[in-house]
Every structure is written in structure tokens, then in C-alpha cells.
Structure 1
Amino acid sequence: MQQYRELLQKNDQDVFNALSGEEARQKAGIELIPSENYTYPEVLCTLGSVFTNKYSEGYPGRRYYGGQEFTDTIEDIARERAKSLFRCEHANVQPLSGSPMNQAVYLGLLEPGDTILAMDLSHGGHLTHGAPVSFMGKLFNFIRYKTDPTDGAIDFDELRRISLAEKPKMILCGYTSYPRDLDYSRFKKIADEVGAITMTDASHYGGLVAADVLRNPFDFGFDVVTTTSHKSLRGPRGGMILCRKEFAARIDKAVFPGLQGGPHMNTIAGIAVTLKKAAEPEFKEYGRQVLLNASTLADELVKNGASLVTGGTDNHMMVLDTEKSFGINGKIAEELLDSVSITTNKQIIPDDPNPPLKPSGIRIGTPAATTRGMKEKDMVRLADWMLRILGNPDDKSLAASTKAEIEAFCSRFPVPGI
């Protein structure tokens, strides 16, 4: 790999400088965006491999181009490992990312105009769960369920009432900013009552399901589970659709030729590597540590007066209400933490009165910090730094000294592959 870096430096200094700058940024700071992680060095190797050169439209044994001996091998390995790891009957590993992954499920199993019941976006749902600005939101009739404002739990009585009244063709659970595990048995019972397909978008927490530290929807009879291959799985940026056999043909056809052309075989090679890693005992320990770190960080923030949506977390993330806690919006909070090398993202809270680009909170997660080897005691320090900076937004001297502390601290925790 070093020879290629030297070649890049020689032939394109501008891109090399940006690459070097990003490496330095990742090493010097703490990554707390819950959807980001550091992938394995072996995955970086596959992404820069000769599989980048190969077109492989179709599926193993049914390609449109010749020369597919090794691409077929790689894709079959990835599919079999996914089926084993997630205890499912079929796996499609070709989706280019999370959004087309979810779109393929809707387009493969439903008809335009069909009703889908999904989580309200401000309560934790994702853009692909029917945001009005998305094409899926225009193509399908999305209706919403919310959480209980008193404790943040999903209101299943209201969810059942809506389902009985609207008769959705699909009930979708899963989240992008909901800090609790899900009761799949209750979703499944309501879906069966109205004859709906059950789908879980586990993009954020697929790695924690693989590690058996969060519930697996297939253990409760779910029909479809989608997950990205990066985030908590630590793989390359891609997506997977996992499903029961009866939906396999329709899902595959929706991915190709319905939405995509040639898959990115270098990414699929990286997914294969990732799934092998996720089946090893070390990954289960990693999953346990992600949850321990998240609960420690959440407890420490709450103990010191910060307000978290739902009051805490069951998973890898939490949502901090910065308006209630510090009197500042999430955009300002994100920028303040960025200035001291702590990376988070601004986040809407349930029924947020503020606009999406200046919302009332930030989203915080522990997968990336855990990948670097940080443990509970480090989360206590991290909480102290965050409280210090958010509680004193105008103190430039404090920010400067805190940034120096954080970057010295981070130097003790190597970033894999850098």
C-alpha cells in the first residue's frame, strides 16, 4: 500500500494532502457520530484491490459479462456468511448503500401507493422511512407512529390502533436516532393481525445484532431485515438485504436490474471479510463493550444534569437535548465540540420545534471510540469534557486547553489501518 501512497503523492499532491489531512483528523479526535466507525485494515485492502476493475452485472452463475470466476466466489462467500451470522434464509449483498437498500425492499415487495407504517422521523426514524422530501415518501403512503413523551417508549397501543384503522401493507421498525432496543414480538403480533409484512431497518445496529448483544428480528419471525455493512459492523460502506426465502426472488430482482447495474465487487469483497470478523468471539466482546461504553457515557451525562431523550440508552447511541441542558441548539453544540476534536452531529428531538439544520439536540454514539480501545473510565473523562465545553460556550481559553487534553488522550488509542 505504501508504494501506492507514494505514487499518489507524486502525481496528485492536492488529493494526497486531503487524504493525509483526514488521516490526521481521525487520529487526533474522538469520533462520536453513531453511524461512523473505523474499518478493518483488511477491508481497506479489498477496497483498493483489483476487484474495483471488474463489472459483474447479475448474480453468481447468472452474469451478463465473462470472467466471473472469482467475483462469483466472493459474492457467494459474502451471502453465505451473512445468512449464517444473522440466522436468515437469504441474503443480497449488492446494495450500494443504505438508502437504495431500503428502496429495493419497498419496490420489490409493494406497489406504488401502498401504505407503510414507520417511525416518525423526529422520534428516531430515517429519511428513507418516508420523509416527504424523499422519492419513497412521494411514491408510497407512509403513516407514522411515535414514542410516548413521558418515557420515550414506543406507544404500541397507538401503533395497533393506527394499524387496525389504516391496514398497512408493511410495518417498518428500526431507527437512526432512537436509543432503545425494540420489542419485535409486539411489532410482529400487530403485523400478523393486519396481514402486514414485517421489516426492520437495522442499519445502525446490525453489528450489535450480529454480536448477539441486541435482539435479532429473525428470532421473532420477521420477514425482512436491512443493514448497512459499515457503522456498527465496521465494514465497507454498503448494504445488505436479509429475508425469508419467499421474498428472495422479488428482492433480488428489485436490486438488479430494478435499481442498480453492476455491483461494486471491491465492496462485496470487503463485506465478506467483515462478516468473517463479525463471527469471531472478539467481535462479540466488542459489541458488549460498545453497550457498556454507551451506558456509562449516558449515565455520566445524566448524573451531571444533562437531559437525554428517553432518559438513557439500551444501545450504542444517545440523543442529548442541548436546548434543555445548556440553552444552545444542536448546531452550536456540534460546532463547539468540533472545535475541541470531538465529532458529533446535530439531531432533531421528538416533535422538535426547531428546524432540522438548527435542531434541539446532538446524537452521540460509541462504536468508533470502542474500536480504538476506549473503555468505561474513558467515557467518564469524555463526559466531563463534553459538559465542560457545552456548559461554557464562550470560554475560548478553556476550549484551547481542553482540545490539547483530548488530542493528547487520543494519541494513546491507535486508529486501525492508519
Structure 2
Amino acid sequence: MRRDERISPLSTTPSWVPEWEDLAAADPEIADIADREAGRLAAGLQLIASENHASPAVRAVLASPLSMKYAEGYVGQRFYPGCEHVDRAEELAVQRARALFGAEHANVQPHSGTSANLAVYAAFAKPDDPVMALSLAHGGHLTHGARISFSGAWFTPVPYEVDRATEQIDYEAVREIARIHAPRIIVCGGTAYPRNIDYQAFREIADEIEAILWVDAAHIMGLVAGGEVPNPVPFADVVTTTTHKTLRGPRGGMILCRGEHARAIDRAVFPFSQSGPSMQAIAAKAVALREASQPAFKDYARGMIENARALADALAGHGARLVSGGTDTHIVVADLQPLGIDGARAEDLCARAGIYLNKSAVPFDPMPPRTPSGIRVGTAAVTTQGFGAGDMVEIAGLIARACRGEDPGRIAADIAGLVARHPAFPVGGSAPGGSDPGGGIRRGGSPA
């Protein structure tokens, strides 16, 4: 039998599958921490826009022997022997990414979205080059030029803002700023911008000043995969994304680019900014990409947006002001000034009741960054659990009750009824998108 034929039969449980009891016996303290985290996920409402529940298949490969292989380099060009199997995993991840998003080239090695973004800077810019991006205070990301980030320390940030009246991007204003500053890179995309972006308009601006157009699509690529929002890949020189938000895969990053930029991107990832890739994460990305290519994932992507719009409308009904007037994605940014509470206080009160969301600045926020006026809410995880638009009305009511200072124990009791109908870790069955997001963490214990 050849080496590559020694494959465990799928009809039996392979000997390498880790058991919960192994961890509990080896390190009961860590086992207890993991079990408590599972309990938190099962008992609460996960509304942080950056988080989701990975499928059992994704989690299984993360715990596989692939995690033990050092594979510095790229497929067929590794610096260690014994990479024939992990090479195939990376090939599948790359092929699936290119096919799903229509990209000419894909690099699946970045450890995170920030790692992917660092590689883009390394590929296309030199220290002190001007880089234009959406202001952090208006929905951009730390790595888009914030002074406390490497991006603002090493490069010259040129921020643009949303329009004061619409709280959406003013493309003519972006064009004027680009003409004045001639940035090397123009970045579009953000972490708290709930609207679709006109990539064609950004492409025209970038072409006019001969800039690289980079789309940071970390939050929306699952929606792109499901065909529910515009695909930035045909317009951008390079697109970065995480794989764990709406794409519902493992924590990690990915870069898609035009073929002419493939060598620059690959060299910027390895050897410039990373060494050995996490092969178990790359294989898990391949699994997630396959799941995202299935017909059921389209329903999941549509559900995220429908839920976000229902949640937005319900929050507005409780007196919150919706930034930009609503949402086109899974993200809702709500200004709580009409309710007489700041976002930091709301975040704390909600967390006490088991509602997990995060504080967020609103455009032209009069409050300081640590106590901003708003909150950011996302529907990726609750949609994975099977919550629908009707449930969003109930969730908005729970958020409003928490913000009013109602007893968190009473709110938590009502949440228990909600999550009982839509468990994070169901026993058997499938979640929207064609895979069970939980499948139980602890055998014979809670929550299962």
C-alpha cells in the first residue's frame, strides 16, 4: 500500500479523534473553562457582529492531526518534508476560494484579518506612503490608518468620512480627497458600516489617480458567498477577509487578488510577515468554503440580512436611532442618545443579562471613544442558530429592557426560553446553511 493510501475508513471513528474526557483528565482547569464558555454560548444571545458558530465539520478539522504539521512555504515548495497531505488541503482551500468568489488568485495562509491586511500594506506600500480609508470613528477598522495601529504608525493615514446628513459614503467627497492626497492605496470597507458599498465608484476613483483599490470585506464575505450583497472581487485589485464572521469558518484570514498581484501578495504573507501557516486552520477554511458553496447557504445569507433589518426596525420602535437609517448587511449600528444611555453602559447592562453586543461610535459622535453613543449588533450567530425575523422583535425588546436597567435575572430567564427553541449546541439536526453549528461540546455534561 502506498503511503497516501493509508486513510482511516470514514465509517468508523478514527483513533485520532480527541475525547472530552482526555482534556478533563489531563487539565481539569482548562476543561472547566471550556465547559463554562460553552455554557455561556448556549445560555445567551450572541449578537457581536464579528462572531459566529462554526460547524462541527470545521471544529473537527481544527482538532485534527493537521494541527501538528509544520509547512513553511507554499504548495510544492515547503521547507519541510511530509507535506503531501497538507499540500492537498491548501490546494482545495485555494481552489474553492477562487471558484466561490471568482478570484484569479487566493492566499489562504493569513492567521487573521489583521495579518491579511498587514500583507496588503507590505505588497503595495512603503513606509510613510499615504493610504486612504474610512475613518475609524465612522465605521472603519483599526488597521485602516488608526494612529494606535501599525497602519497609522507606519503609513500616512488619509481618512474620509460619511456624509453628515445620510451617514453614508459620499463618493464625490471621496474623489476630491483622493485627488488632493493621491494615496498609494484606497481602502473601502469597514467594521461598523452597515450599508452596501459602490465598488464601481471606488474603482473609477482609484483608476483616476492610479491607486491600488483594496476592499476589506471581512464582515460581508459570507453575504457575498450567498449572493446577497455585491461581490467586490471583480472591481478590486485585492480583497481581504476573515473566515470566521459571516463565512462561518475558523478564525483566520484570506486574501483574494488579481493574477498580476499574486506574487507580491504571496511574498508579503510568506516570508515577509508570517512563517509556518496553521494547516488545521487552512483545512478548516476549505471545509467552510465548501459549506458556503452549497445552496442552503444562500438561505442562510438571506436570513442574516432579513434578521438584521427586522432587528433594526424593532430597535427603532424602542426609540433607538438607526445610523444611516437602516442596514443592507448583517450589521446594525444604533445610536442610543434618544434613550439617555451610552453604548458602554448598554453593553455592560446587556452582558449582565446574557446579551452580548458591543459599544460603537456613531458618526460625528459627541461622546468619547470609551463611552460612545451607540451599539453595534450583528445577526450572524443567531441566524446560524435558526432565529428568524419574529425572534428579532423579541430580542430587540430584551435589549431595550436591559438598557432601561431591568433586573438582569428576569431578562436572562426570558432568554432561556428563546435559546431553548434555538439552541447553540443542538443534539442532532441541522442548522440553516446545511450543517449543525454545535453538535455538543461536553459528552454527558452541559450543554449538549
Q: Common fold, TM-score beyond 0.5?
A: yes
Q: Is the aligned partner of 1:39 residue 2:54?
A: yes
1:2, distance to aligned residue in structure 2 (A)? 8.2
What one-letter code is carried by the residue in structure 2 that aligns with 1:329? D
Separation of aligned partners in 2, 1:123 and 1:406: 32
Instruction: Give the counterpart of 1:403 among 401, 406, 412.
Output: 412
Could you tell me which runs of 5 or more consecutive residues in structure 1 were left unpaired when the two chains were aligned.
none
| Contact 2:61–2:280 (Cα < 8 Å) also in 1 | yes
Residue by residue over 1:190-242, the C-alpha shift from the partner in whole angstroms, topping out at 9 and shown as x without a partner, is 111111111100001111111110100123x2111111010000000000000
Decide which of 114, 129, 139 is 1:114's aligned counterpart: 129
| DSSP-derived class of the 1:181 partner | coil
Contact 1:341 1:407 in 2 (8 A): no
How far apart, CA to CA, are the structure 1 residues paired with 2:318 and 2:351?
21
Which of the residues 248, 266, 277 maps onto 1:252?
266
Aligned-partner Cα distance in 1 for 2:239–2:227 = 15
The separation in 1 between residues aligned to 2:327 and 2:112, in whole angstroms, is 26
Is residue 28 from structure 1 mapped to residue 43 from structure 2 by the alignment?
Answer: yes
More deviation, 92-101/348-357? 348-357
The match for 1:148 is: 163
Q: Counterpart of 1:301 in structure 2: which amino acid?
A: L
In the TM superposition, what are the counterparts of 1:17-416 in structure 2 within 5 Å? 17-219=32-234, 221-322=235-336, 324-390=337-403, 392-393=404-405, 395-396=406-407, 399-415=408-424, 416=437
CA distance in 1, matches of 2:178, 2:31: 53
Separation in 1 of the partners of 2:152 and 2:67?
Answer: 33
1:157 shift after superposition: 1.6
> Take 2:155 and 2:30, find their aligned partners in 1: how far apart are those partners?
41
Structure 2 distance, partners of 1:275, 1:3, is: 24
Structure 1: how far apart are the matches of 2:151 and 2:319? Answer: 40
**For 1:167-210, what per-residue CA distance to the aligned partner results, in whole angstroms no more than 9, with x for missing partners?**
11111101100110101111111111111111100001111111
How much identity, in percent, do the aligned residues show?
A: 46
Amino acid in the other structure paired with 1:336: L
> Normalising to structure 1: TM-score of the pair?
0.96
Measure, in 2, the Cα distance between the counterparts of 1:2 and 1:104. Answer: 34
Q: Contact 1:35–1:204 at 8 Å: present in 2 too?
A: yes
Maintained 8 Å contact 1:348/1:359: yes
**Deviation sequence 1:13-52 (CA, Å, 0-9, x none):** 1101111100011011110000000001001101100011
Three-state SS of the structure 2 residue aligned to 1:411 is helix
Q: Distance in 2 between matches of 1:306 and 1:169?
A: 39
Give, in angstroms, the shift of residue 4 of structure 1: 2.2
Shift of 1:383: 1.1
User: Does the CA-based 8 Å contact 1:321-1:360 persist in structure 2?
Assistant: yes
Shift of 1:3: 5.7
* 8 Å CA contact retained: 2:185, 2:212: yes
Alpha-carbon distance in 1 for matches of 2:24, 2:285: 29
The answer to whether the 8 Å contact 1:316/1:367 transfers is: yes
More helix by share: 1
| Distance in structure 2 (CA, Å) of the matches to 1:2 and 1:27 | 23
State the shift of 1:303 in Å: 2.7
Superposed CA deviations along residues 83-126 of structure 1, whole A, max 9, x for unmatched, are 00010100000000011110100111122221111000010000
Runs of 4+ that moved beyond 6 A: none
Deviation by residue 1:278-309 (Cα, 9 ceiling, x = unmatched)? 00001111000000000111111113321121
Q: Deviations over 1:152-174 (max 9, x none)?
A: 11011211111111111111101
CA displacement 1:55-93 (0-9 Å, x = unmatched): 000000100000010011000000000000010100000
Distance in 2 separating the partners of 1:139 and 1:336: 38
| C-alpha distance in 2 between matches for 1:135 and 1:301 | 36
Match for residue 7 of structure 1 among 22, 27, 41: 22
Match for 1:266: what amino acid? Q
CA contact 1:109–1:247 (8 Å) conserved in 2: no
Aligned residues: 412
Deviations 1:229-267 (A, max 9, x none): 100000000000000000000000000000011000000
Cα distance in 1 for residues equivalent to 2:187 and 2:18 = 47
Alpha-carbon contact 2:334-2:376 (below 8 Å) kept: yes
